[in-house]
């Protein structure tokens, strides 16, 4: 039995591109898997500053809700003015005092800073090899007794190089002649024209302080406990208010405070949970003033105005009493008196 198979040229043409697509996707997946390790190895640190420009390899990361620039091996940094700060991924920091220009290179677990202008102040606690290259001098930080390294390297306005070692030591090497000098801890020298033979004391001429972190962790509001509210009220209450304070309190209105539970937002929920009104506390703060008590003595015109009248003597009271008319003896006598009043001439 013979079987005949008819080949389809169109199907063959479509099968080849499909295989290529599968190979390309596989390569992309392998590259995507290998890239995180590769990028983690060349990451230098996060830079922060007010007037900073970065070019070359870098990436953006979100740290505590803020976008930060992550320097990578080969990044070129320019600090136009002010200061900048690099937080190294291994720990420690590099403060840059501008105007300054430098580049960072990381290879084999060692960090190299190529400093062109400006001043840098490095502080490293871990075993991270650090080399600082300048046009003529190479500076290598050396730990003393496994302690941290704190050094300053830079240029002043005249172009002279200054090196200071606060902690640890710094080994200086002339790149052209190979001459090297070990600067001990607490050393502070000037280098003119890249010559290590004539080192002079700079006496703190170059200055670049370590920059502290500006960001603060977010604060979450909490309800005050009864003890905290009572303590705050006792601290805020004055012992003896003055006359001006009493006058201000006379026009002061009650103060109301509303304490609410923290608001909750759930991105997955279609309807957000509402706040329970029973958890809302309304506090009305008032100041109780004592009753007004007058103490003292009134003298002068006011005293005469309020002086009570003297009590009359008993004799004077008797004289002021009007005598009552004696009762008449008879009805005829009263009539006779009445007639005499009508016709007085008849009597």
299-335: per-residue pLDDT in tens? Answer: 765 545 555 555 555 554 445 545 555 554 577 777 7
pTM of the full predicted structure?
0.52
The number of domains in the chain is 1
Range of the domain at 64: 42-201
- Which of 20-24, 134-138, 259-263 is predicted most confidently? 134-138
Does residue 90 form part of some domain?
yes
What's the pLDDT at 322?
A: 53
- Kindly indicate the confidence band of residue 35, based on its pLDDT and cuts at 50, 70 and 90: very low
What's the pLDDT at 130?
A: 93
Q: What percent of the chain has pLDDT over 70?
A: 63
Does residue 130 form part of some domain?
yes
What's the pLDDT at 66?
A: 76
Q: Which two tokens stand for residue 290?
A: 């004592």
What's the pLDDT at 142?
A: 93
Does residue 138 form part of some domain?
yes
- Kindly indicate the confidence band of residue 47, based on its pLDDT and cuts at 50, 70 and 90: very high
Using the predicted structure, report yes or no on whether residue 262 has a pLDDT greater than 50: yes
- Kindly indicate the confidence band of residue 203, based on its pLDDT and cuts at 50, 70 and 90: confident
Query: For position 121, which CATH number holds?
Result: 2.60.120.1440
What mean pLDDT, rounded, does the chain reach? Answer: 74
Cβ contacts of 179 within 8 Å, gap of 6 or more: 173, 196, 197
What's the pLDDT at 27?
A: 42
Cβ contacts of 298 within 8 Å, gap of 6 or more: 306
What's the pLDDT at 85?
A: 94
Residue 28, φ and ψ in degrees, nearest 5: -65, -40
- Kindly indicate the confidence band of residue 273, based on its pLDDT and cuts at 50, 70 and 90: confident
Using the predicted structure, report yes or no on whether residue 242 has a pLDDT greater than 70: no
Does residue 331 form part of some domain?
no
Using the predicted structure, report yes or no on whether residue 77 has a pLDDT greater than 70: yes
Does residue 1 form part of some domain?
no
Least confident of 4-18, 78-92, 170-184: 4-18
| Mean pLDDT (whole number) for 129-133 | 94
What's the pLDDT at 9?
A: 45
State pLDDT tens for residues 57-69: 988 877 676 778 9
Does residue 307 form part of some domain?
no
Q: For residues 36 and 248, which has the higher predicted lDDT (pLDDT)? A: 248
- Kindly indicate the confidence band of residue 345, based on its pLDDT and cuts at 50, 70 and 90: low
Does residue 65 form part of some domain?
yes
Using the predicted structure, report yes or no on whether residue 229 has a pLDDT greater than 80: no
Does residue 160 form part of some domain?
yes
């Amino acid at each position: 039995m013979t079987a005949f198979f008819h080949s389809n040229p169109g199907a063959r043409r479509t099968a080849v591109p499909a295989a290529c697509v599968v190979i390309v996707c596989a390569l992309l997946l392998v590259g995507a898997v290998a890239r995180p390790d590769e990028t983690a190895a060349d990451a230098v640190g996060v830079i922060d500053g007010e007037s900073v420009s970065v070019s070359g390899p870098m990436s953006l990361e979100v740290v505590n809700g803020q976008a930060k620039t992550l320097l990578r091996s080969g990044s070129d940094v320019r600090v136009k003015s002010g200061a900048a700060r690099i937080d190294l991924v291994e720990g420690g920091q590099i403060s840059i005092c501008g105007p300054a220009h430098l580049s960072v290179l990381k290879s084999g677990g060692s960090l190299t800073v190529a400093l062109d202008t400006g001043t840098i102040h490095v502080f490293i606690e871990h075993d991270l090899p650090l080399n600082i290259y300048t046009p003529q001098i190479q500076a290598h930080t050396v730990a003393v007794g496994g302690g941290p390294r704190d050094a300053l390297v830079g240029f002043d306005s005249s172009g002279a190089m200054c090196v200071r070692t606060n902690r640890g030591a710094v080994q200086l090497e002339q790149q052209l002649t190979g001459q090297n000098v070990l600067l001990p801890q607490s050393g502070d020298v000037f280098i003119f024209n890249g010559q290590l033979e004539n080192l002079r004391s700079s006496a703190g001429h170059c200055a670049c302080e370590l920059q502290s972190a500006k960001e603060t962790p977010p604060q979450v509001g909490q309800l005050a406990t009864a003890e905290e509210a009572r303590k705050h009220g006792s601290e805020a209450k004055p012992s003896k208010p003055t006359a001006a304070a009493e006058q201000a309190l006379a026009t002061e209105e009650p103060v109301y405070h509303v304490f609410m539970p923290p608001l909750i937002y759930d991105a997955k929920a279609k309807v957000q949970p509402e706040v329970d009104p029973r958890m809302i506390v309304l506090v009305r703060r008032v100041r109780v003033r004592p009753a007004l008590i007058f103490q003292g003595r009134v003298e002068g015109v006011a005293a005469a105005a309020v002086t009570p009248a003297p009590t009359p003597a008993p004799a004077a009271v008797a004289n002021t009493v009007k005598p009552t008319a004696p009762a008449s003896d008879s009805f005829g006598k009263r009539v006779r008196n009445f007639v005499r009043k009508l016709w007085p001439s008849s009597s």
